[in-house]
Amino acid sequence: MEEYRIAVIPGDGIGPEVMDEAVRTLNAAAKKDGTFSFHFDTFPWGCEYYLKNGEMMPADALDTLKAYDAILLGAVGFPGVPDHISLRDLLLKIRHGFDEYINVRPVKLLPGAPCPLAGAKPEDIDMIFIRENSEGEYYGTGSWLYRDTPQEVVIQDSVFSRKGCERVIRYAFDLARKEKKSLTSISKGNALNYSMVFWDQIFEEVGKDYPDVEKKHLLVDAASMFMVKDPKRFGIVVTSNLFGDILTDLGAAISGGMGLAAGANLNPDRTFPSMFEPIHGSAPDIAGQGIANPLASVWSAAQLLEFLGHKDQADRALEAIATLLREHRDLTPDMGGTASTSECGKAIEALMLA
Ligand SMILES: NC(=O)c1ccc[n+]([C@@H]2O[C@H](COP(=O)([O-])OP(=O)(O)OC[C@H]3O[C@@H](n4cnc5c(N)ncnc54)[C@H](O)[C@@H]3O)[C@@H](O)[C@H]2O)c1
C-alpha cells in the first residue's frame, strides 16, 4: 500500500481549526479507497512560534519539508506580528523556495452556495484561475531611500522573466486544451509598459502552439467588471501574481465566500513538494470559536488528492461539499447554518465513507 508523507502547518487563528477537517477528509479518502494511506507530521510554525523564537519557522525548514510528498497549510498571520513578516517569512518562502510557480484557484459556484450576483446560476460561474506564483509584483526586491526624511522614496520591483511567464502561460494553455475551455489572459499593457507588454507578447507567442484553444485578452480593470457583470465569459484564466491575488478574492466572493475558496501552489515538475491551502487568512475575528468554515480547507485537500493521482477521491470530496450545500445542512454560520467547524467536517467524512 502506498503511504504519502504529508507535512502539516496549521498556522495561526482558524488555521488549526480548519486543518483538522482537511486531515479528516484525507483519512476518509484513504480509508474508502483502501490502496493508499497518509502519514502526517505537524509543524508548529507561524506567529506564535515567531513571538517565542524570533522567526516564523526554523532556518532549515525547507530542508525538513523537502522530504514530504506534499504540504498542507492552514493560514498564517495574527495581530502582533506584522503581516509582511508572517506572509514573506513563511508562505512566500515556501512558495519561492520550492518553485511552486503555479497557483490554481477554482472559482466555481456550486448549487446552494450563496452568491451576491443577482440572477447568477451555477453554470454561469465556472472558471479556474492560474495565477503566476513565483515572481511578478511579489518578487520582494526594491529600495527604501532617504528613509524618514521628506525626500523618502520607495521602489517595489516587479519581475517578469521570459521563463517565468512562458511556463505559467503554457500551463494555462495545456489546461484550457484539456478542459476544452477558452483561455483569458488578464494584464494591463496600456499602463504597465514593460512588464505587461512583455506578458502580452509572450501570451501571443505561446498561443501560436495552441491554435485549437479560444484565446481572449482583458485589461485587469475590465476583467474585474466582467467578473461581476458577465462571469460566464471566463473559462480558464491566466494572470500575474498580484492581479491573480486580488481577482481570486473577488472570485471567492461570487462563488460562496472566503469559507469555500481553495488554492493549490504547484511545482508541476515535482522536484519539490507542492502546497495546498484555503485562500482565506487566519480570521482573528472568529478564531477559537469553533465556527470557522472548513470547506475551503476540505476543497484544498481535494486538490491534494487530485495532484497525487486520486481524482476519483478528489471528486468524492467535492461531491460531499456540494451535497451539504445542496441540502443546506451541517453548514457553518458564514453559510447561513448553525454547525460547528468539526460538525461540518464530520458530515463531509460521513459522506466520503458512505
Ligand atoms: N494564506 C494565508 O495564510 C493568508 C491569506 C490572507 C490573509 N492572511 C492573514 O490573515 C490575517 C487576517 O486577514 P484578513 O482579515 O484580511 O482575511 P481573512 O481571510 O482572515 O478574513 C476576512 C473575513 O473573512 C472571514 N473568514 C475568513 N475565512 C473564513 C472561514 N473559513 N470561515 C468563516 N469566515 C471566514 C473572517 O472572519 C473575516 O471576516 C492577516 O494577518 C493576514 O495577513 C493569511
Each domain of the chain, given as residue ranges in start order, spans: 1-108+260-354, 115-255
% of the chain exceeding 70 in pLDDT: 100
Tens-digit pLDDT profile for residues 310-321: 999 999 999 999
Tens-digit pLDDT profile for residues 126-162: 999 999 999 999 888 999 999 999 999 999 999 999 9
The per-residue pLDDT for 160 is 97
* Residue 58 in this model has a pLDDT that exceeds 90: yes
On whether the 115-255 domain is CATH 3.40.50.2000, my answer is no
Tens-digit pLDDT profile for residues 17-53: 999 999 999 999 999 999 999 999 999 999 999 999 9
User: Which residue has a Cα nearest atom 29 of ligand 1?
Assistant: 259
Q: In the structure, which protein residues have their CB atom closer than 6 angstroms to any atom of ligand 1? A: 14, 18, 75-78, 83, 86-87, 91, 258-259, 277, 280-286, 292-293, 296, 334
- Indicate if 115-255 has the same CATH topology as 1-108+260-354: yes
The per-residue pLDDT for 140 is 86
The per-residue pLDDT for 1 is 87
Task: Calculate the average pLDDT of the chain.
Answer: 96
**Nearest atom of ligand 1 to the alpha carbon of 79:** 41
* Residue 249 in this model has a pLDDT that exceeds 90: yes
* Residue 172 in this model has a pLDDT that exceeds 90: yes
The per-residue pLDDT for 222 is 98
- Indicate the CATH number of 1-108+260-354 among 3.40.605.10, 3.40.718.10, 3.40.980.10, 1.20.1300.10: 3.40.718.10
User: Which residue has a Cα nearest atom 41 of ligand 1?
Assistant: 77
Q: What would the mean pLDDT of 301-316 be, rounded to a whole number?
A: 97
State in Å: Cα 253 to ligand 1 middle: 13
- Between CA 222 and CA 228, with CA 223 as vertex, the angle to 5 degrees is 100
User: Which residue has a Cα nearest atom 8 of ligand 1?
Assistant: 281
Tens-digit pLDDT profile for residues 214-239: 999 999 999 999 999 999 999 999 99
**Nearest atom of ligand 1 to the alpha carbon of 277:** 1
* Residue 276 in this model has a pLDDT that exceeds 90: yes
State in Å: Cα 56 to ligand 1 middle: 18
